[in-house]
């Protein structure tokens, strides 16, 4: 797999990363440990060198899983994790006090079985802590060698600029896909100006853009999509038109809808690195295959023209979740 560079400080990663959250958290019961370890190691063997986790995933269990799985080749991969919630629980609200950041990093280093974190994100902007203090705390950890690069997640333009002025931001992790294009309004131009990479999470619309979910699909009771307005039965039915478009284009390219969705993201900017997650080996193989698909200007124009006519229905988060994004 080819490589891409995030930010201006030379952080080189595989063109596609692996979002590991779903192996432990969010999408139903956790994957059996041996199966999860196998999937992570298969990703590495297939060329993936960029792995994403957070203390909040589990909480804590996802970092432990990743630490064990990556141990044989830790020096060959880039590990990203996150701080920013009280006791590692999103439901408890944000906590990015400098002393808390240090506590999280020390604990994450132990769980990840490593002496440094390659990319440390603030999981969500904390309005109770000045961004300059957050960036300053991470700057100290970088000086100490415990962290290599600083990142933000779901931050707005003002927060990005405030952080970058104190400690250069290497990457912003935010949702971006064919069914969530808000970053195109202000974020992408800001990142390009400042030399910051973009790491889109949920690049497949939390699974919807794969074409394997429709209005009749039921989710496990622990699956957070049950609380997402965009995944209501009514909105899933309305949003099928976007999947049908991807299926049409995929057929011409002898690809899958998921591969077209990922290839579209990769075609937007050379500093965009999506991190699709999966619990299935065949889906991992499918996602990795998207890196070999080239969409030409005509393809991109067709997609953009068609998508512009589609009004995707439903918020992407619950009301509580909406309050913590794009700050």
The domain limits of the chain are 3-322
The answer to whether residues 186 and 205 touch, using CB atoms and an 8 Å cutoff, is no
Q: How far apart are the first and last CA of the chain?
A: 34
Check residue 318 and give its pLDDT: 80
From 314, 183, 291, 301, select the one nearest 240 (Cα to Cα).
Answer: 314
In this prediction the pTM is 0.97
| Contacting residues for 106 by C-beta, under 8 A, at least 6 apart | 146
Check residue 324 and give its pLDDT: 84
Q: Establish how many alpha carbons lie within 13 A of residue 15's alpha carbon, considering only the half-sphere containing its beta carbon.
A: 20
CATH number of 3-322: 3.20.20.100
Over its length of 327 residues, how does the chain's per-residue pLDDT go in tens digits?
Answer: 999 999 999 999 999 999 999 999 999 999 999 999 999 999 999 999 999 999 999 999 999 999 999 999 999 999 999 999 999 999 999 999 999 999 999 999 999 999 999 999 999 999 999 999 999 999 999 999 999 999 999 999 999 999 999 999 999 999 999 999 999 999 999 999 999 999 999 999 999 999 999 999 999 999 999 999 999 999 999 999 999 999 999 999 999 999 999 999 999 999 999 999 999 999 999 999 999 999 999 999 999 999 999 999 999 988 778 888 878
The C-alpha atoms of residue 121 and residue 53 are separated, in whole angstroms, by 10
Check residue 254 and give its pLDDT: 96
Check residue 250 and give its pLDDT: 96
From 28, 7, 61, select the one nearest 169 (Cα to Cα).
Answer: 7
The answer to whether residues 267 and 300 touch, using CB atoms and an 8 Å cutoff, is yes
- As to burial, measured by CB atoms within 10 angstroms (0-12 exposed, 13-18 middle, 19+ buried), residue 93 is middle
Residues in a beta bridge with 237: none
Q: What are phi and psi of 124, to 5 degrees?
A: -145, 145
Residues in a beta bridge with 52: 19, 80
Helices 33-45, 61-70: crossing angle, 10 deg rounding: 50
Could you list the active site residues?
57
The C-alpha atoms of residue 112 and residue 277 are separated, in whole angstroms, by 19
């Amino acid at each position: 797999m080819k490589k891409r560079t995030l930010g201006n400080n030379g952080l080189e990663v595989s063109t596609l990363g692996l979002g590991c959250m779903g192996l432990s958290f969010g999408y139903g019961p956790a994957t059996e440990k041996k199966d999860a370890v196998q999937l992570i190691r298969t990703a590495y063997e297939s060329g993936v060198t960029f792995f994403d986790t957070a203390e909040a995933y589990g909480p804590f269990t996802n970092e432990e899983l990743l630490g064990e799985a990556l141990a044989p080749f830790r020096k060959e991969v880039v590990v990203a994790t996150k701080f920013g919630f009280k006791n590692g629980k999103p439901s408890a609200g944000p906590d990015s006090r400098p002393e808390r950041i240090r506590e999280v990093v020390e604990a994450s280093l132990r769980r990840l079985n490593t002496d440094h974190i390659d990319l440390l994100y603030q999981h969500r902007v904390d309005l109770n802590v000045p961004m300059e203090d957050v960036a300053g705390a991470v700057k100290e950890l970088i000086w100490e060698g415990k962290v290599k690069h600083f990142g933000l997640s779901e931050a707005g333009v003002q927060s990005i600029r405030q952080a970058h002025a104190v400690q250069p931001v290497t990457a912003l992790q935010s949702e971006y896909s064919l069914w969530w294009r808000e970053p195109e309004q202000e974020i992408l131009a800001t990142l390009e100006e400042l030399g910051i990479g973009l790491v889109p999470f949920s690049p497949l619309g939390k699974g919807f853009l794969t074409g394997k979910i429709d209005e009749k699909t039921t989710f496990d009771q622990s699956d957070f999509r049950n609380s997402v307005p965009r995944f209501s039965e009514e909105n899933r039915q309305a949003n099928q038109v976007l999947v049908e478009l991807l299926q049409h284009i995929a057929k011409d390219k002898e690809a899958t809808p998921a591969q077209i969705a990922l290839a579209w993201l990769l075609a937007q900017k050379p500093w965009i690195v999506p991190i699709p997650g999966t619990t299935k080996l065949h889906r991992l193989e499918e996602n990795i295959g998207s890196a070999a698909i080239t969409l030409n200007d005509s393809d991109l124009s067709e997609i953009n023209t068609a998508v512009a006519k589609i009004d995707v229905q439903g918020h992407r988060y619950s009301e509580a979740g909406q309050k913590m994004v794009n700050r």
